[in-house]
Structures are given as C-alpha cells and as structure tokens.
C-alpha cells in the first residue's frame, strides 16, 4: 500500500512548523543538554545508540506495536541474546546493556537477571558463593530471577510464607511453599527463562524463625531447561503492560538445596545448626542497596517523562485546530497550534518544568548518595535513615509525576494519542509498575512520614537529632519541636511576585509548610489520640510536601553548579519559579491553613494563579528547545507523532499502512477469507436469503 501520488503539499508543513519552534531558542540547546543530562548518561546513551543503530535488523522496533504477546517475548529474547553477545565481545558493559533495555523500552526476560539477581549476589554472597553463583551468572551460564513477592503477600515482606528449613540430618535446607498463598508471584524472568531463583523465604533453624532471607534455588535444568523435581513454575499471563517480560509463579514442594545456597554475607548456619552473624559486616549495609535501586528509579523517571513530554510538545506544537481566535491570531488565516491554547499549556508546561526539576534532582541526589555511601562504607551509619527516607520520598514523587505525566501527554494528543503509533500507550503500561514495585508509592509515603514524625518527637523530647537537610529545616521552623509563629518564617510579608523571584524565600515557604504539617500531625497523634491508620492520608500529603521541598532544594543546588553569568540561567530560574508556583497552586488548602500570620489570603492565591499563568505562557515560547535539550532519540521515542523530522502525518499514515491486515499477500489473504465467511452473505445474498 502506498500514499497516492500528486497530493497537495501541506501548508505549513508540520516539519517546517517544528523547525520554526526550534528557531525561537533563546539559549544554546546543547549547553542546556550538558547541564540537564549528566555526563555519564550522555556518553552511555551515545555509545549504546551507536551500537544499536549499527544493527537495525536486530534492534528494530518498527513492528513492535503489531506483535502478539509471544512475538513480543521472542523479539525481546532475540534482542537480549544479541546484547549479551555484544557484552561478551567487549562492545558493551553490563550497565550499558541495561541502558539499552531502557532505550528500547523492552524489559525482556534477561532484565531481572541483571537488575536483581546479580546485585543480590554482589551484595549478599560470601567469597565462596561468588565463585559458585556470581561467576557463572555473570557469564549467563545460569539465568536468575528475584523471587520475593507471593500471591498472598507483597508489601508485607515479614508476612512471606515460603519457608527455608534447616535439615539437621543432612545439613541441607528444605525450601517449601506451604499453601497457594505462598506461591511466588509477579517474579520477572521466572515464567519461562530463569534456571535459578533467589527465593526470599522464612529461615527456620531448630524451630526458630530468623525472618525472610535469600536462598538460591535451582528451578530448571541447565541441560534440558525442564523444571526440576518439586518445582511448579510458569508464566502468569497477559498484563496491562510489560508484556515482553515473563513474570511468573513458583511453587516449591519440599525442595532440598545445599547449605551453601543460603546467602551468607549477613547470616550463617553451620553444619550443626548454629546461627551466627558475621561480626565484621553490618546488615544495615543492605539498606544501601535498597537506596541504590531507588536512586536508579529516580534517574530513570526523568528519562521516562522526557520521552512523553518530547512527543506531546512536538506534536501539539504542530497540530492545528480552529482559526480566527482573536487573542491568538495566526498569519494567512491558519489554524492555531493546539499548544497555543491556555488549557493545553496548563497541562504540559508545568510537566515540562517538573521534568527539568527531576533531571536536576537525580543528579544532586546521586551526589548526596555517593557522599552518604562513603560514610557508610567507613562504618558511619548516621546518614542512613535520612538517606533512606529521602530515597523513598523521591521514588514516590518522581514516579508519580512521571507515570501520571505519560497519561496526561497521551490525552493531550487527542485521538492520535490513543494510537499505539503515538509511542505513549505501550510505554505507559511498561512504565506503570514503577509506582508499584520497589515499595508501593502509598506504602513508601509512610516510611517518609514515620521518619519525619520521629524527628519532630525527638526535638520535642530533647533527644539527640542527627544533622541533615531534613532536620535543618525542622530545627529552623520548630522551637523545641513546636511550630513557631512569632516572629515567624522569612517568607511572611513578601508579595507573590517577590516570592517567585527569591529562591531562599521559596525554600523557606516549602520547608515551613512541611514542618507545619509534621508538627500538626504529631499533635493530632500524640495529644488527641489519632491512630496511625487515621493518620495515613495526612501522612502521604506530608510525604509529598517534604519531597516538594527536597526537589526544590536539589534543583537549586544543581543550578548553583552553573556560573552566575551562564546564558542558560535565566530560563532555568523561570522554570524553578514555575515549579514553585505550581506546587502552591495545586495545594491552596495547605496555604490557607498555615498558622497565624503565615496563612495565605484569597488575594494571594489569586496572585499565584495569575503569575503561574504568565510564566506558563513565557515558558511555552521556549518549549520545543527546552524539551529537545533532554536529547531523546528517535529510536527511544518510537513514535509517529513525536519524531525529530516533524513529518507527523506522513509517518503516521505510512505506519498505519503497514498494519498486517493492510499488507499485500498475508493481509490480502485474511481479508479475502473474512469477506467470504462474514460479509459476503449480506453483500451478495443468495436468492433465498434475499427473499427474507
Ligand atoms: C510488573 C511487575 C513486576 C514485578 N516484579 C517482581 C519481581 O521480579 N520480584 C518480586 O519479588 N516482586 C515483583 N513484583 C511485585 C511487587 O514488588 C509488588 O507488587 C509490590 O511490592 C506491591 O505488593 P502487592 O502487589 O502485594 O500489593 P499489596 O501490598 O497487597 O498492596 C495492595 C494495596 O494495599 C495498600 N497497602 C498495603 N499495605 C498497606 C499499609 N500498611 N498501609 C496502607 N496501605 C497499604 C497498597 O498501597 C496497595 O494499594 C512485581 C510487580 C509488578 C506489577
């Protein structure tokens, strides 16, 4: 099927319109790219893209939207196999292969081997186990997965029911699923691929339960790939997204494994059943690994949202609907780009600004993480609790903004956003689990809340409190753990316009809001008998208020790395102010209820709305250069609407023509068969049918 020849050229062409948007740039896009995307990511992306683009036959995403589930899995396996070969040929590292998965948006069946099985071995295996499991795993001679979640328990890890019982007679462990509820569930790479599972099971020695611990259980033969005796394993079927991955279930029927299979870095069971914990390793180090995984999610979420904002902003700047609007006249009676409508801007521009904040935050947070890890590795565990709480809060904040942001982006593209060729639908499904895994976002808000409440209570009772970015603001705003309204915080008395121009005052207000919420919640719980369960709604608001402050603070820290005369600073300051006003505009209730003189008036709320609208309009002018500074490649976009050439309608129509039902040969055959079977009886009724 071909586009008919001789069609009139479109005026203005969407490609020209995109080019015109680019030419509005008031800053150097490549300078902005260097600032917003860290050097490691830039070089990794460039290297991986070069390798992928050199093999277009293998790393081809063109047909992916037409695939069935099994075709998707096979396609992912094929790409995954080649990536492993490239690694073995020394052309890519393990990290770069994971990055290739991200670019290709295809978490295939080897992904959990890399993202969970190998890191658990790295952090929890002793030397002998590294030799036994890590060495072959690194060569892909065994394929692993991480089996923690069960059909009956996910967030409540302590409630897991799979057991790992020491057998004194033989010195082995018996790993067992006592009920259907104990069936491992959701486990990535388990359904079809893995030969070994890192099973989290209750460790029981001489009748005593030592809680969930990881144990390596061989589940499929590396010779025949058939399940081993006592193992019931399979794929758990189609899902909302993530369908290239073989998420699976696993039931173990009294499966025996050698004692060495229990990860022994933090716990050891001797041949005679004595349980010991090595004195030279602190189990708190394991928290560092959890925090690391969340730092990776924070980093990835900025990339995830960047794909969605790139598609939506490019498309809405080219899509034209309606003409003759008096407040937005277009030359030659042209229709308006939909991005010029205030309502479209309100949906997209704050998202773009949040995307900038995310990129900056992920870099500043990564630096904070490195500093804390240096201290942890030197045996100082002081920073761990705050680091953990910050990571929980940021994982929740960034993944919530990114996942809801993808949905906003596809909706803002109208009907075409609903087409797979927008690049936003599979992508939404594939990215969605980020708000569920590594701590469900609502459960995580309790970790943040618990930390903040503990700090406030410590300040009230005069107990020692560590010095960190959180306690610094709590101390500043609370006196003996209670909110001080006289003389009150520095932001009081400032106009909305001067607040928007003053980063110190912004941080003062955002931190005061979080401190006020924390203090009020402690009052309600400790002095008015409000229970933990009754406090959960307030706690998730508190978690977000805290993270709003942390994100703004990290954004400022990252801006401070630029020279004061940097030409990209003015637009970045505007973006920071927009983010600040957007937080306020979204949460007017928090501002009305600030205590005493700190409380906002209706007039101030109206000023916030007006100034926000003005900034949104100003940033819209630079929207395309700004979003293109994220540098998302066409391969990653895999979108007809968002490609860099701006040929929206041509690409879209050509792609639709490739739909298998339209194709010559195979498509012709299907259509002919359906015609004969289903429509022909109506279209060409036989004489007897025609009489009816
Ligand atoms: C695509 C995908 C891949 C996954 N891959 C893996 C994997 O490879 N390995 C693995 O082990 N797991 C994996 N998981 C499982 C994932 O980690 C869990 O789904 C997650 O931890 C949430 O647990 P749950 O599903 O049991 O939800 P539940 O804990 O049952 O939560 C259900 C609801 O209750 C709420 N809730 C729960 N507890 C509380 C509480 N205390 N207070 C208030 N609200 C609460 C939650 O917010 C949620 O809304 C995967 C999940 C998905 C979707």
Express each pLDDT in 631-664 by its tens digit: 999 999 999 999 999 999 999 999 999 999 999 9
The single-letter DSSP state of residue 144 is E
Rounded to an integer, the average pLDDT of 591-608 is: 94
Nearest ligand 1 atom, CA 190: 8
Would 46 be classed as within a structural domain? no
Q: Is the pLDDT of residue 149 over 70?
A: yes
Q: CA–CA separation, 415 vs 355, rounded Å? A: 24
Q: What angle do CA 310, 311, 312 make, to 5 degrees?
A: 95
Q: Which residue's structure tokens are 């025949």?
A: 224
Residue nearest to ligand 1 atom 3, measured at CA: 186
At 283, the pLDDT band (50, 70, 90 cuts) reads low
Residue among 517, 513, 501, 645 at smallest CA distance from 578 = 501
274 with 301, same domain: the answer is no
Rounded to an integer, the average pLDDT of 445-467 is: 96
Sort residue 92 into left (φ over 0), alpha (ψ -120 to 50) or beta.
beta
Q: Is the pLDDT of residue 485 over 70?
A: no
Question: What's the total number of domains in the chain?
Answer: 2
Rounded to an integer, the average pLDDT of 386-401 is: 97
Would 59 be classed as within a structural domain? no
Mutate to test the pocket of ligand 1, among 106, 186, 290, 438 (most ligand atoms within 8 A of CB): 186
403 with 268, same domain: the answer is no
What is the structure's pLDDT at 107? 85
At 325, the pLDDT band (50, 70, 90 cuts) reads low
Residue nearest to ligand 1 atom 7, measured at CA: 187
Q: List residues near ligand 1 (CB under 6 A).
A: 112, 146-149, 154-155, 186-188, 242, 247, 433, 436-437, 440, 442-443, 536
Q: Is the pLDDT of residue 324 over 80?
A: no
Rounded to an integer, the average pLDDT of 492-516 is: 95
What is the structure's pLDDT at 543? 98
Alpha carbon 467 to chain centroid, angstroms: 30
At 162, the pLDDT band (50, 70, 90 cuts) reads very high
Task: Specify whether the CB–CB gap between 509 and 491 falls below 8 A.
Answer: yes
Q: Which residue has the higher pLDDT, 283 or 290?
A: 290
Nearest ligand 1 atom, CA 156: 29
Mutate to test the pocket of ligand 1, among 115, 120, 149, 540 (most ligand atoms within 8 A of CB): 149
Structure tokens at 304: 């995830």
521 Cα: distance to centroid of ligand 1 (angstroms)? 26
Give the tens place of pLDDT for each residue, 92-119.
Answer: 998 899 999 999 988 888 999 999 999 9
What is the structure's pLDDT at 538? 98
Q: CA–CA separation, 401 vs 396, rounded Å? A: 8
Q: Which residue has the higher pLDDT, 189 or 596?
A: 189
Residue 238's CATH number: 2.40.110.10
For the chain, the farthest-separated pair of C-alpha atoms sits apart, in whole angstroms, at 96
Q: CA–CA separation, 424 vs 125, rounded Å? A: 40
Would 251 be classed as within a structural domain? yes
Would 376 be classed as within a structural domain? yes
Structure tokens at 193: 């691929």
229 with 326, same domain: the answer is no
Which residue, of 281, 314, 349, is where some domain finishes? Answer: 281
Binding residues are 149, 188
Task: Specify whether the CB–CB gap between 542 and 517 falls below 8 A.
Answer: yes
In terms of residue numbers, what domain contains 235? Answer: 142-281
Q: CA–CA separation, 554 vs 393, rounded Å? A: 13
Q: CA–CA separation, 687 vs 692, rounded Å? A: 9
Give the tens place of pLDDT for each residue, 326-373.
Answer: 677 777 778 999 999 999 999 999 999 999 999 999 999 999 999 998
248 with 382, same domain: the answer is no
Q: What share of the chain in percent tops pLDDT 90?
A: 85
Nearest ligand 1 atom, CA 439: 21
Which residue, of 573, 608, 627, is where some domain finishes? Answer: 627
Binding residues for FAD are 149, 188
Rounded to an integer, the average pLDDT of 53-77 is: 94
Give the tens place of pLDDT for each residue, 513-572.
Answer: 999 999 999 999 999 999 999 999 999 999 999 999 999 999 999 999 999 999 999 999
200 with 336, same domain: the answer is no
Would 54 be classed as within a structural domain? no
- Cβ-based neighbours of 467, under 8 Å, separated by 6 or more: none
Q: What share of the chain in percent tops pLDDT 70?
A: 97
Residue nearest to ligand 1 atom 42, measured at CA: 443
208 with 332, same domain: the answer is no
220 with 247, same domain: the answer is yes
Give the tens place of pLDDT for each residue, 284-303.
Answer: 666 777 788 898 999 999 99
Would 66 be classed as within a structural domain? no
261 Cα: distance to centroid of ligand 1 (angstroms)? 26
Which residue, of 224, 253, 281, is where some domain finishes? Answer: 281
Task: Specify whether the CB–CB gap between 184 and 149 falls below 8 A.
Answer: yes
275 with 336, same domain: the answer is no
Q: Is 538 exposed, middle or buried (0-12, 13-18, 19+ CB in 10 A)?
A: middle
Rounded to an integer, the average pLDDT of 449-463 is: 97
Residue nearest to ligand 1 atom 4, measured at CA: 186
**Average of per-residue pLDDT values in the chain:** 94
What is the structure's pLDDT at 484? 75
At 10, the pLDDT band (50, 70, 90 cuts) reads confident
253 with 301, same domain: the answer is no
Q: Which residue's structure tokens are 């033969």?
A: 221
488 Cα: distance to centroid of ligand 1 (angstroms)? 42
267 with 293, same domain: the answer is no
- Active-site residues, by number, are 438
Q: Is the pLDDT of residue 31 over 70?
A: yes
Would 674 be classed as within a structural domain? no
250 with 324, same domain: the answer is no
Would 659 be classed as within a structural domain? no
Q: Is the pLDDT of residue 507 over 90?
A: yes
Q: What DSSP string runs through 572-613?
A: HHHHHHHHHHHHHHH-HHHHHTS-GGGPPPHHHHHHHHHHHH
Residue 595's CATH number: 1.20.140.10
238 with 293, same domain: the answer is no
Residue among 216, 138, 236 at smallest CA distance from 173 = 216
Rounded to an integer, the average pLDDT of 303-316 is: 98
Instruction: Verify cis geometry, omega within 30 degrees of 0, for the bond prior to 368.
Output: no
Task: Specify whether the CB–CB gap between 188 and 198 falls below 8 A.
Answer: no
């Amino acid at each position: 099927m071909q586009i008919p020849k001789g069609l009139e050229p479109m005026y203005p062409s969407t490609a020209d319109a995109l080019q015109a948007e680019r030419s509005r740039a008031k800053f150097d896009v490549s300078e902005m790219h260097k600032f917003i995307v860290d050097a490691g990511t830039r070089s990794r992306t460039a290297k991986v893209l070069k390798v992928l683009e050199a093999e277009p036959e293998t790393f081809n995403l063109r047909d992916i939207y037409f695939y069935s589930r099994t075709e998707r899995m096979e396609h992912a396996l094929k790409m995954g196999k080649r990536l492993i070969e490239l690694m073995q040929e020394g052309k890519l590292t393990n990290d770069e292969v994971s990055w290739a998965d991200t670019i290709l948006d295809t978490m295939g069946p080897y992904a959990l081997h890399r993202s969970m099985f190998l890191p658990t071995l790295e952090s929890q295996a002793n030397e002998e186990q590294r030799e036994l499991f890590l060495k072959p795993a690194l060569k892909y001679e065994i394929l692993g997965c991480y089996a923690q979640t069960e059909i009956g328990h996910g967030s409540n890890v302590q409630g897991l029911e799979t057991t790992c019982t020491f057998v004194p007679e033989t010195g082995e462990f018996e790993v067992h699923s006592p009920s259907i509820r104990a069936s491992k569930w959701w486990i990535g790479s388990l359904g079809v691929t893995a030969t070994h599972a890192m099973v989290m099971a209750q460790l029981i020695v001489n009748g005593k339960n030592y809680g969930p611990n990881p144990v390596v259980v061989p589940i499929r033969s590396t010779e025949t790939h058939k399940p081993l005796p006592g193992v019931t394993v399979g794929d758990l079927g189609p899902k909302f997204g993530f369908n290239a991955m073989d998420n699976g279930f696993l039931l173990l029927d009294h499966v025996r494994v050698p004692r060495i299979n229990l990860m022994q870095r933090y716990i050891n069971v001797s041949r005679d059943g004595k349980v010991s914990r090595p004195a030279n390793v602190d189990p708190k180090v394991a928290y560092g690994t959890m925090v690391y995984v969340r730092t990776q999610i924070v980093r990835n979420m900025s990339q995830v949202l960047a794909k969605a904002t790139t598609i939506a902003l490019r498309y809405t700047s080219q899509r034209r609907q309606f003409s003759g609007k008096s407040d937005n006249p277009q030359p030659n009676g042209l229709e308006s780009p939909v991005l010029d409508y205030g309502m479209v801007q309100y949906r997209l521009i704050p998202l773009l600004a949040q995307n900038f904040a995310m990129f900056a935050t992920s870099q500043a947070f990564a630096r904070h993480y490195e500093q804390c890890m240096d201290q942890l590795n030197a045996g100082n565990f002081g920073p761990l609790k705050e680091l953990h709480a910050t990571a929980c809060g940021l994982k929740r904040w960034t993944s919530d903004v990114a996942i809801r942001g993808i949905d906003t982006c596809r909706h803002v593209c109208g009907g075409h956003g609903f087409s797979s060729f927008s690049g936003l639908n599979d992508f939404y499904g594939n990215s969605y689990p980020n708000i569920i895994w590594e701590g469900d976002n609502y459960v995580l808000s309790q970790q943040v809340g618990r930390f903040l409440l503990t700090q406030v209570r410590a300040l009230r009772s005069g107990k020692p409190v560590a010095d960190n970015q959180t306690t610094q603001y709590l101390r500043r705003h609370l006196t003996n753990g209670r909110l001080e309204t006289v003389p009150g915080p520095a932001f009081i008395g400032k106009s909305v316009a001067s607040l928007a121009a003053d980063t110190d005052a912004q941080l003062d207000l955002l931190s005061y809001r979080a401190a006020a919420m924390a203090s009020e919640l402690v009052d309600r719980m400790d002095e008015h008998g409000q229970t933990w369960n009754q406090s959960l709604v307030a706690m998730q608001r508190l978690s977000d208020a805290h993270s709003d402050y942390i994100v703004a603070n990290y954004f400022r820290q990252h801006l401070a790395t630029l020279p004061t005369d940097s030409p990209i600073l003015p637009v970045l300051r505007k973006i920071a102010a927009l983010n600040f006003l957007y937080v306020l505009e979204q949460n007017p209730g928090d501002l009305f209820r600030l205590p005493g003189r700190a409380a906002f008036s209706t007039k101030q709320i109206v000023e916030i709305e007006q100034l926000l609208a003005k900034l949104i309009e100003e940033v819209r002018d630079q929207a395309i250069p700004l979003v293109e500074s994220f540098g998302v490649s066409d391969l990653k976009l895999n979108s007809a609407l968002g490609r860099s050439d701006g040929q929206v309608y041509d690409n879209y129509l050509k792609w639709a023509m490739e739909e298998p039902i339209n194709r010559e040969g195979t498509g012709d055959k299907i259509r002919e068969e359906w015609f004969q079977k289903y429509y022909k009886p109506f279209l060409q009724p036989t004489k007897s049918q025609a009489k009816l």
